[in-house]
Structure 1
């Protein structure tokens, strides 16, 4: 489906996910996992989970990502948790990014929940 600027929605999402992953790599985020949630959730198309080594690193990773999204013309994302920097959630619309301290990430284990197979896809015998 074309957007008013003539760029398809898929191209825009593809550009956005590349921007997110490049920013996380640049800021040395650890254990970056990208999960395709298209068709699984109306929250967005992708969920990205990454870790920072400390409160300061989590905050720096989030700040770097927010600047990268803005610089790429992807707008201002909504942010939660930046003050505490244990778990920062960045919602850019199509992509939801979670940046955790390692202990907090292990506790919530979001990627396991979202990567679990859909019950409809499993054959139950």
Structure 2
């Protein structure tokens, strides 16, 4: 998703869940450097989804900015602050190698 790169999201990972989950086909995980950065990335993703006709995407966690979940149906995006991402370790839960630098 180009908006993640444009907003300088870090350690972007896409996980193919087709056949593994009935909830979504793809999960994306990215990190922001701070509460404000996480919120800005999420806001831009939501605006881009609305512009492309996917305005029904739901978001949770925007107020706190530690972990924002955006559910766009076939794709679920998690945007974390690095410490929160390490704590929840979704990559491990789905048996996926984290991108280089994700544990730093």
State the aligned residue count: 96
Q: Which residue of 2 is the match for residue 84 of structure 1?
A: 64
Q: Which has the higher contact order (CA 8 A, sep 6+)?
A: 2
Q: Which has the higher strand share?
A: 2
Larger Rg belongs to: 1
- Consecutive unaligned residues of structure 2, counting only runs of 5 or more, are 97-104
Q: For the Cα contact (< 8 Å) 1:35–1:115, is it kept in 2?
A: no
Match of 2:33? 53
Secondary structure at the residue paired with 1:38?
A: coil
Higher helix share: 1
1:28 aligns with 2:8: yes
Q: TM-score, normalised by structure 2?
A: 0.89
Normalising by structure 1, we get a TM-score of 0.74
Structure 1's consecutive aligned runs of 4 or more residues displaced over 6 angstroms after TM superposition are none
RMSD: 0.9
Determine whether 1:106 maps to 2:86: yes
